[in-house]
Structure 1
Amino acid sequence: MSKSAWLFLCLTVVTGLLALGATSEEGQTAAMVAAGVSTSLLLLTLFMGRKIKFDPILR
Structure 2
Amino acid sequence: MSKSATGFFILALLSGILHLSLDQDTMLTVPLIACVVFGALFMLALIAGRRIKFDPVLR
For Structure 1 versus Structure 2, the TM-score category normalised by the shorter chain is 0.7 to 0.9
Higher helix share: 1
> Which TM-score applies when normalising by structure 2?
0.76
So what's the TM-score if we normalise by structure 1? Answer: 0.76
Aligned residues: 52
Which residue in 1 is equivalent to 2:45? 45
Give the alignment's Cα RMSD to 1 decimal: 2.1
In the alignment, structure 1 segments of 5+ residues that lack a partner are 53-59
**Long gaps (5+) in structure 2:** 53-59
RCO (CA 8 Å, sep 6+): is it higher in 1 or 2?
Answer: 2
